[in-house]
Amino acid sequence: MSGMHAALRALNRLVIDGVIENYAIGGAIGASFYLPAMQTEDIDVFVFMPTPTSLLVSLSGVYESLKSLGGIVDREYVRFGDWPVQILTDATPLIAEAIREAISVDFDEIPTRVFRPEHMCAIALQTGRAKDYARITMFLEQNEVDPGLLSDLATRYGLSRQLKRATDAVEGSNERPEQP
Amino acid sequence: MTIDEEKIAFNARAKASMLQFLKSKSWPEKIASIERMNAAAQKAREAMKRARRKETASMPGQ
């Protein structure tokens, strides 16, 4: 069993035990569900915590539980085999929606959840680093997003300008060079 | 500059075919390939570190 299998089993255990309400995978590992494999060294896991009793959301219970399930805490990661898992919360309404609407998939018969491609693109637009735009370009070029859904997300979360920049770039790169 | 239409068409076909092949892989297969990439990168980093140590040790005054 690889580190990825162990990590997914541990995350599913956390849901069963009520440590987290639910989770979904984003980042490059999530994107690799739809696109060709892309280089990354960690697994980004976005979690819904059970309704907090205070305004402060603590992840210490999640880390402790993952540790008891075989994970090794290493700075902000919990390592399973070769895979460091980074636990992130539903820090923005967009991320919360992405977790809520993630799709259920199997990884070697282990059930798990992955962000929808449109949410991955919208989160990438919000994050806005060069590598995020590169990922959006891949999603758009490979027709892995529903343009209507992505446009709706961009409108609702104030990302229309960023989406236009990304789509303009893709359309520009598809144009044939002019004959000299 | 002249444009070799045949070459452009060939490159486009090759790119599309490679993309199709890469996308046809299952998710676990893609993750396994990322694991191999990371293992190779780790080996390269270690080799670089060893080479740097060796270089530093052979410098005069070390």
pLDDT in tens, A54-112: 555 678 899 999 999 999 999 999 999 999 999 999 989 999 999 999 999 999 999 99
- Are residues A136 and A50 both part of a single domain? no
Q: Which residue has the higher pLDDT, A179 or A126?
A: A126
C-alpha atoms less than 13 angstroms from C-alpha of B25 in its C-beta half-sphere: 19
Which CATH number goes with the domain that contains A53? 3.30.460
- Average pLDDT over every residue of A166-177: 73
- Run of H or E residues at A180: none
- Average pLDDT over every residue of A137-155: 95
How confident is the prediction for chain B on average, in pLDDT? Answer: 89
**Model pLDDT, residue A103:** 98
Which chain A residues are Cβ-neighbours of B38 within 8 angstroms? 39, 41, 82
d(CA B9, CA B21) in angstroms, rounded, equals 18
**Model pLDDT, residue B10:** 92
- Are residues A45 and A92 both part of a single domain? yes
Check A37 against B30: CB less than 8 A apart: yes
Residue A11 lies in a domain: yes
Flag whether pLDDT at A180 surpasses 50. Answer: no
Neighbouring C-beta atoms of residue A85, cutoff 10 Å: 27
Please give the residue of chain A at the shortest CA–CA distance from B38. A41
- Are residues A66 and A150 both part of a single domain? no
**Model pLDDT, residue A176:** 52
Burial of residue A7 (number of CB atoms within 10 Å: 0-12, 13-18, 19+): buried
**Model pLDDT, residue A179:** 46
**If interface means Cβ-Cβ distance under 8 Å, which residues of chain B face chain A?**
1-3, 19, 22-23, 25, 27-28, 30-35, 37-39
Check A32 against B38: CB less than 8 A apart: no
Domain endpoint, select from A115, A130, A151:
A115
Residue A179 lies in a domain: no
% pLDDT > 70, chain A: 92
Flag whether pLDDT at A177 surpasses 90. Answer: no
The backbone torsions φ and ψ at residue A165, rounded to the nearest 5 degrees and listed phi first, read -60, -45
**Model pLDDT, residue A169:** 81
H-type alpha helices, chain A: 3-16, 27-34, 60-68, 93-100, 117-127, 130-141, 147-156, 160-174
As beta bridge partners, residue A84 has A79
B21 CA to chain A: closest CA distance, Å? 9
- Are residues A32 and A106 both part of a single domain? yes
- Average pLDDT over every residue of B19-34: 92
Which chain A residues are Cβ-neighbours of B35 within 8 angstroms? 2, 4, 82
Q: Which residue has the higher pLDDT, B60 or A148?
A: A148
The domain total for chain A is 2
Domain that holds residue A68: 3-115
Flag whether pLDDT at A121 surpasses 80. Answer: yes
**If interface means Cβ-Cβ distance under 8 Å, which residues of chain A face chain B?**
2, 4, 28-29, 32-33, 35-41, 82, 105, 107-108, 142, 177, 179-180
**Residue A70: left if φ>0, alpha if ψ -120 to 50, beta else—which one?**
left
Residue for token pair 């027709």:
A143
- Are residues A49 and A127 both part of a single domain? no
This model of the complex carries an ipTM of 0.86
Flag whether pLDDT at A158 surpasses 80. Answer: yes
- Are residues A125 and A153 both part of a single domain? yes
Which chain B residues are Cβ-neighbours of A142 within 8 angstroms? 19, 23
**Model pLDDT, residue A155:** 97
Tokens linked to A56: 């402060």
Short-list A142, A141, A99, CA closest to A120:
A99
Give the predicted TM-score (pTM) of the model: 0.86
* Most confident stretch, A41-55, A87-101, A163-177: A87-101
d(CA A172, CA A167) in angstroms, rounded, equals 8
A54 CA to chain B: closest CA distance, Å? 38
CB pairs under 8 A between A and B: 47
